[in-house]
Chain A
Amino acid sequence: MKTVWTIARRELASYFTSPLAYVFLVIFLLLSGFFTFTAGAFFERGEASLAAFFAWHPWLYLVLVPAVGMRLWSEERRAGTLELLLTLPVTTAQAILGKFFASWVFLALALALTFPVVVTVNVLGDPDNGAIAAGYIGSLLLAGAYLAITCMTSAMTRSQVVAFILAVVLCLFLILAGFSPVTDLLARWASPSFVDAVASFSVITHFDGFQKGVIDSRDLAFFVSVIGFALFATGVIIRGHRAG
Chain B
Amino acid sequence: MIRIENLVKTFGAKRAVDGISFTVERGEVLGFLGPNGAGKSTTMRMITGFYPPTSGRITVGGYDIVEAPLAAKRLIGYLPENAPSYPDMTVRGFLDWMAAMRGLEGEARKKAVARVVERCFLEPVLEQSIETLSKGYRHRTCLAQALIHDPEVLVLDEPTDGLDPNQKHEARNLIRELGKTKAVVFSTHILEEVDAACTRAIIIDRGRIVANGTPAELRAMSALAGAVTLRAEGATEEKLAALGRVERVDGALRVYPADKTASAELTRAILELAAREGWKVESLRVEEGQLDEVFRRITLPDTVRK
Contact = CB atoms under 8 A, between A and B. Distances in A.
Interface of A: 3, 6-7, 9-10, 13-14, 17-18, 79-81, 83-84, 86-91, 242-244
Contact of B101 (A80, A90, A242): A90
Given A10-B97, A81-B86, A84-B142, 4 more contacts: A9-B97, A84-B78, A89-B69, A243-B51
A155 B131 CA distance: 23
Contact of B52 (A9, A14, A91, A243): A243
A18 B142 CA distance: 22
Contacts of B10: 244
A7 B45 CA distance: 22
Contact of B51 (A6, A18, A81, A242): A242
A223 to B, nearest CB: 30
A87 B142 CA distance: 13
A84 B9 contact: no
Interface residues of B, number: 37
B86 A10 contact: yes
Given A80-B84, A81-B86, A244 B51 contact: yes
Interface majority SS (helix, strand, loop, mixed), chain A: helix
Contact of A89 (B45, B50, B74, B88): B74
B145 A84 contact: yes
Contacts of B142: 84
Contacts of B71: 89
Interface in B120-137: none
23 contacts: A6-B100, A14-B89, A17-B88, A17-B89, A83-B50, A84-B80, A84-B84, A84-B85, A84-B145, A86-B49, A86-B50, A87-B49, A87-B50, A87-B76, A87-B78, A87-B80, A88-B101, A89-B71, A90-B101, A242-B50, A242-B52, A244-B10, A244-B11
Nearest to B14: A244
A81 B85 contact: yes
B154 to A, nearest CB: 12
B36 interface: no
Interface string B101-126: 11100000000000000000000000
Nearest to A84: B84
**Residue among B12, B51, B76, B82 facing the most chain A CB atoms (10 A cut-off):** B51
Q: What are the nearest 9 A-B pairs in CB distance?
A: A80-B84, A87-B48, A89-B73, A244-B11, A83-B80, A89-B70, A81-B84, A89-B74, A6-B100
B54 interface: yes
Nearest to B129: A17
Contact of A14 (B45, B48, B88, B145): B88
B73 A14 contact: no
A157 B45 CA distance: 20
A129 to B, nearest CB: 40
A6 B88 contact: no
B15 to A, nearest CB: 11
Contacts of B82: 80
A114 to B, nearest CB: 28
A86 B49 CA distance: 8
A244 B101 CA distance: 27
